[in-house]
């Protein structure tokens, strides 16, 4: 279908993008366009103005900043999936970016667009939540930072205001020896996750010092599996302990039933994927 009529402006800077967003009602930013344009073609989104930030190349970077890795909002999934700095310090995120769609999608899709879109079926937001990332936002009142755990508020809804531009993502570097995994269950390689599970584990003398577990598509936002995390605190890094903890996966979740799977199926799947993710993370 052809989108409804809209105006188009190309922003030369983040500040200009913020200004343009404030001058028009229902204006929307355009980055890689791989989520917004399909919605416009279905007429589920009808922005009056598209503010194109896709060519703001100063937002396309990965750099080390002390204990964190900072990623510009316009970094493409394909670049992040092969970035050596990211693989060294945040391999979970590099791996997850390589799991998004297919090569064509990954060459256009940006990390900022994936996060700002707020789709609970998206993979990178779950990785960011699991890694305790912080999001950097520029708006009419200046710059602010928002922890990933308070950024995602509902389906396709985030903490972003109508004039806000997400400019960067900051991810703490993982300590060496930290295990990680992302288990994505989908029918075809290009599909979104029916359920996805991210895990990060730190060991200390045969016990789990830290375990973070995130869930994709198990509610209206990406979620932390807090029941699993509590069950794993200080637990032995042994198969029985992992299997017992995985049984807590559905706590606090509210999966939907759709054409891919029922809520009950997702609930059972989440337990299996949590166990597999923990096993793989501990084997790394």
Binding site for ligand FAD (CB under 6 A): 28-36, 38, 73, 100-101, 105, 108-110, 112-114, 116-117, 122-124, 160, 165-166, 190, 192
Closer of 29 and 199 to ligand FAD (Cβ)? 29
Closer of 112 and 255 to ligand FAD (Cβ)? 112
Q: What single-letter DSSP state applies at residue 189?
A: T
Q: Which residues 6+ apart lie within 8 Å of 279 measured at CB? A: 181, 239, 242
Q: At its nearest, how many Å lie between ligand FAD and the CB of residue 101? A: 3
Q: At its nearest, how many Å lie between ligand FAD and the CB of residue 204? A: 33
Q: At its nearest, how many Å lie between ligand FAD and the CB of residue 115? A: 8
Q: At its nearest, how many Å lie between ligand FAD and the CB of residue 218? A: 15
- Environment class of residue 52 by beta-carbon count within 10 Å: exposed (0-12), middle (13-18) or buried (19+)? middle
Closer of 11 and 232 to ligand FAD (Cβ)? 11
Contact 168, 71 (CB under 8 A): yes
Residue 85 sits at φ, ψ, to 5 deg, of -65, -45
Closer of 80 and 282 to ligand FAD (Cβ)? 80
Closer of 118 and 179 to ligand FAD (Cβ)? 118
Alpha helices in the chain (DSSP H): 14-23, 36-41, 77-80, 84-89, 91-97, 103-108, 111-117, 123-130, 148-151, 226-232, 239-246, 263-283
3-class SS of residue 179: strand
Contact 180, 91 (CB under 8 A): yes
Q: At its nearest, how many Å lie between ligand FAD and the CB of residue 53? A: 6
């Amino acid at each position: 279908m052809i989108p409804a009529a809209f105006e188009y402006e190309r922003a030369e800077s983040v500040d200009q993008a913020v200004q343009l967003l404030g001058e028009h009602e229902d204006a929307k930013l355009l980055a890689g366009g791989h989520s917004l344009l399909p919605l416009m073609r279905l007429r589920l989104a009808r922005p009056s103005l598209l503010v194109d930030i896709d060519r703001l190349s100063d937002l396309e970077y990965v750099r080390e900043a002390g204990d964190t890795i900072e990623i510009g909002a316009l970094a493409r999934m394909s670049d992040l999936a092969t970035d050596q700095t990211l693989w060294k310090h945040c391999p979970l995120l590099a791996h997850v970016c390589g799991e998004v769609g297919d090569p064509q999608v990954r060459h256009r899709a940006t990390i900022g667009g994936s996060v700002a879109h707020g789709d609970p079926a998206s993979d990178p937001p779950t990785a960011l939540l699991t890694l305790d990332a912080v999001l950097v936002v520029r708006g009419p009142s200046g710059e602010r930072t928002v922890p990933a755990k308070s950024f995602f508020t509902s389906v396709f809804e985030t903490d972003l205001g109508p004039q806000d531009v997400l400019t960067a993502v900051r991810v703490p570097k993982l300590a060496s020896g930290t295990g990680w995994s992302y288990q994505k269950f989908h029918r075809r390689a290009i599909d979104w996750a029916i359920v996805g599970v991210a895990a990060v584990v730190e060991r200390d003398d045969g016990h789990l010092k830290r375990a973070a577990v995130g869930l994709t598509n198990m509610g209206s936002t990406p979620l932390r599996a807090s029941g699993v995390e509590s069950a794993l605190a200080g637990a032995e890094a042994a198969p029985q302990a992992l299997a017992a903890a995985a049984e807590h996966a559905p706590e606090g979740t509210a999966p939907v039933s759709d054409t891919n799977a029922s809520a009950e199926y997702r609930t059972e799947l989440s337990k299996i994927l949590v166990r597999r993710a923990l096993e793989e993370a501990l084997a790394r």
